């Protein structure tokens, strides 16, 4: 009733597979680092933009008087 399990396949070139896997992991790590750096820059830009908008709304009357005269 129980059929025997087929033997596990072993890779023909384990060193080549390990090298390719390590290259893939290195590329993935570089992509994640690049993405984190980009997201950090975008976060700082958003933060400073929001702070500038809050400052403009907080001092809008003074700004309007300064611009109009």
Q: At residue 5, does pLDDT exceed 60?
A: yes
Alpha-carbon distances of 16 from 20, 31, 34, 44, rounded to whole Å: 6, 23, 27, 42
**pLDDT confidence of residue 14:** 84
Residue 28 lies in a domain: yes
User: Which of 37-41, 50-54, 55-59, 60-64 has the lowest average pLDDT?
Assistant: 60-64
d(CA 45, CA 53): 12
- Is residue 9, in this structure, part of any structural domain at all? no
What is the domain count for the chain?
1
Give the per-residue SS3 of 9-38.
Answer: CCCCCHHHHHHHHHHHHHHHHHHHHHHHHH
Residue 19 lies in a domain: yes
Q: Which domain holds residue 45?
A: 14-68
pLDDT digits (tens, 9 = 90+) for 57-68: 777 777 777 767
Does residue 26 sit within a domain? yes
Burial class (CB in 10 A: 0-12, 13-18, 19+), 33: exposed
Stated pTM of the model: 0.53
1 within domain boundaries: no
């Amino acid at each position: 009733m129980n059929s025997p399990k087929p033997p596990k396949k072993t890779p023909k070139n384990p060193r080549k597979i390990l090298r390719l896997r390590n290259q893939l992991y290195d590329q993935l790590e570089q992509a994640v680092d690049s993405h984190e750096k980009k997201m950090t820059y975008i976060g700082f830009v958003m933060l400073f933009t929001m702070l500038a908008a809050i400052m403009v709304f907080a001092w809008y009357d003074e700004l309007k008087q300064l611009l109009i005269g």
